[in-house]
Amino acid sequence: MTSTLKGITLKGSAELVAEFFSFGINSILYQRGIYPPETFTRVTHYDMSLQVSTEPRLNNYLTNVVSQLKEWLFECSVQKLVLVITCLETNEVLERWQFDIECDKSAKESSSAPREKSIKTIQDEIRSVIRQITGTVTFLPLLETQCSFDLLVYTDKDLVVPDKWEESGPQIIDQSEEVRLRSFTTSIHKVSSMVAYKRTDSACST
């Protein structure tokens, strides 16, 4: 990782954020039951227990996406990453995890010095976001139907679309509620998270 004890470089920041997305996506897929829990294994990272998938095809897919994402983070050309969960049968969007990314483009300048923020502090902030992702299970509606997921990346308009990528619609939820999670910052990239979910009936049942 290109980061020094004294601070974070743009490359190091892109790696940290991409790594967060990798673990964060795995956490969401595990917590929301998109894949069976027995297909996950426990690892320790950010000084906490995390669940990561053991499915080779899923991992291959995520590796490809995150790898491309890292490039875009380095170029400061990515604005959002969105994980969309849809009902397999009806194709209805049930949940939408949105990660807004702000990049301090002055870090791209060759004269830019590493930023003074410790990796430990960044990882502490990331840890609290991942704990919050876990915590959302306590109130998000149960996903009772079989679901699939998609990863959408919002990039700058003038970006050249690489091979194996295509334009997509935003896949918005019809009538949603949303909550914001904590954000974290590397001092170069700031990631703000939120989850939107399909609003359910407000009537109480007795």
Partner 1 sequence: MAEPCLVLKTTLDPEVSENQSAANSEDSRVKRRLSFPSEKQISSREEPSLTYLDLSLQCLSDDSNSPQPTDEKLSVTVPNGTDVCSEQREEDKENTEIHQEEQQEEEEATSCQESASERHSNTEDRDAEVVRRAKEEGCVSVIFPGPVTQDGSYRFVSEILKCVLYQRQQLPMTYEQLVFSQKRRQQQRDAEDKDVVRPRKVHSADVDYKCQQTLQELEEVLHQLEVLFSLSRVPRVLLMMGGSLVLPKELYEINMEDLLLVGGDQGLRASSCLRLLFRTLFVADLLSDSRPVRLMPTTVLALAHRDCGVGWFRPKLQFKIPTRVKNQIIALATDPNVSEKQREKADWQDYVWFQAPVTIKGFSN
Residue closer to partner 1 (CB basis): 5 or 161: 161
What angle, rounded to 10 degrees, do the helices at 119-135 and 10-31 form?
20
Q: Nearest distance from residue 189's CB to partner 1, in Å?
A: 16
* DSSP output for 31-61: HTTSS-GGGEEEEEETTEEEEEE--HHHHHH
Q: Nearest distance from residue 52's CB to partner 1, in Å?
A: 13
Q: Nearest distance from residue 76's CB to partner 1, in Å?
A: 12
Distance CA 140, CA 195 (A): 9
- C-beta atoms surrounding 101 within 10 Å: 21
Residue closer to partner 1 (CB basis): 103 or 188: 103
Q: How far apart, in Å, are the Cα atoms of 69 and each of 18, 28, 64, 76, 182?
A: 7, 18, 9, 10, 21
Token output for 16: 């940290």
Of 96, 195, 191, 192, nearest in space to 149 by CA: 96
3-class SS of residue 67: helix
Q: Nearest distance from residue 77's CB to partner 1, in Å?
A: 10
Residue closer to partner 1 (CB basis): 10 or 181: 181
Residue closer to partner 1 (CB basis): 48 or 119: 48
Residue closer to partner 1 (CB basis): 136 or 192: 136
Q: Nearest distance from residue 111's CB to partner 1, in Å?
A: 25
